[in-house]
Structure 1
């Protein structure tokens, strides 16, 4: 069994046995590999976002949270590549990291044959992108957490004139147009609602303070007459 098949089978084995725990030794015997190989595989799955939990000790083992996983979704190779294309466009967005882990989960749930076919097809598709330097810890990632947890964020913002100001912002939502993302929130420096282009935010630091609950409609940020705001549709 190759590693891709084994990772898929590990998830299904843990799902079938949950909530009972399986030790690394039991899994190693089941898949005819070493305990160390099982530990490396479990670590790879956890890093990809699979909700596998471990207890140490003689009675410990691995278990999978069935409430946070789905059985195999049977993506076709073309469906998987279509998702990869859309997620590939998320670079620079607040949810780029989450997009990558979502794609890893999709590929891990596919059969070995379909996964190989998806990779072969993906290898024949190219994006034309400017050469960019490696980015430090992503500002969009901090903003993503700020919106998700409703926590105040301190940012350094560059205005149109090139001046940098330090601001504390109570985040409310994200808005996107084409590939440009905006953070919508209450700016404490200006004492009102503001819209910040994320590519003009030079740094972002998450604070411990919880922000008041506000809606985007409550802030009343102006929208050009030739556009409408649409929420993300999950169905």
Structure 2
């Protein structure tokens, strides 16, 4: 690890445990350098304005004021390509548009040489075949949860019966075969899961949807048990 990478890594390590301290000895062991090197690195960070200070005492060490710093938005070429490959599976889901926007932001935040390297690496990644393409998800459906608007759906159920319903969006459910909009159905006066590819027409009304709590056991979908997505392990 070169010095620039180590300086970034020290800041991120201190940010992760803030406001608790990390001792110079602990940091030296973590980055496999001498304690004196860590002390010089901390001095360099302080000179550039990073809010790091020394906490005295037996359990003291170096602390970072995370409220006064922002994490660096640095992606390596490998990380950018990994995200691009993962986002390839979003086609036909409510998150396809957000995924494309996120990838553009990642590339815009990269250094020019890293972005070039990412494009060169991506050109060496080859995919055999493609997953089945689902129909594009209308914007009103994709934004249903964050917009919190009551939706008017024209929906065809698995028996082929078409109905028009006003629903209060509650979430999305993804299975191995389809994506569903989880919503409170005012026609049925209960929670229902609507397959996105069976929504024939959708209109976002001006009515704000009330907040409702949904438990996994309240949801019935054709296959498997539900698990809730978490962003951190």
| 1:89 aligned onto 2:89 | yes
User: Which one of 202, 213, 219 corresponds to residue 215 of structure 1?
Assistant: 213
> Which residue number in structure 1 is paired with residue 158 of structure 2?
160
Distance in 1, Cα, partners of 2:103 & 2:221: 33
What does 1:20-169 correspond to in 2, within 5 Å?
A: 72-127=72-127, 128-129=129-130, 138-139=137-138, 141-169=139-167
Deviation at 1:94, TM superposition (A): 0.9
Q: CA RMSD in A?
A: 3.0
Q: Is the 8 A contact 2:216 2:227 kept in 1?
A: no
Over 3 Å counting, the alpha-carbon distance change for 1:153 and 1:234 in structure 2 is: farther
Q: Deviations over 1:131-167 (max 9, x none)?
A: 96995xx42x212322112210011112112222211
Q: Deviations over 1:164-205 (max 9, x none)?
A: 221111111111123621111111122211011111112211
User: Which one of 177, 196, 199 corresponds to residue 197 of structure 2?
Assistant: 199
Distance in 1, Cα, partners of 2:209 & 2:149: 5
Q: State the TM-score, normalized to the length of structure 1.
A: 0.61
State the number of aligned residues. 165
Task: Answer with 1 or 2: which has the greater Rg.
Answer: 2
Over 3 Å counting, the alpha-carbon distance change for 1:74 and 1:169 in structure 2 is: same
Q: State the TM-score, normalized to the length of structure 2.
A: 0.62
**Which consecutive unaligned segments of at least 5 residues does structure 2 have?**
1-69
Distance in 2, Cα, partners of 1:100 & 1:218: 29
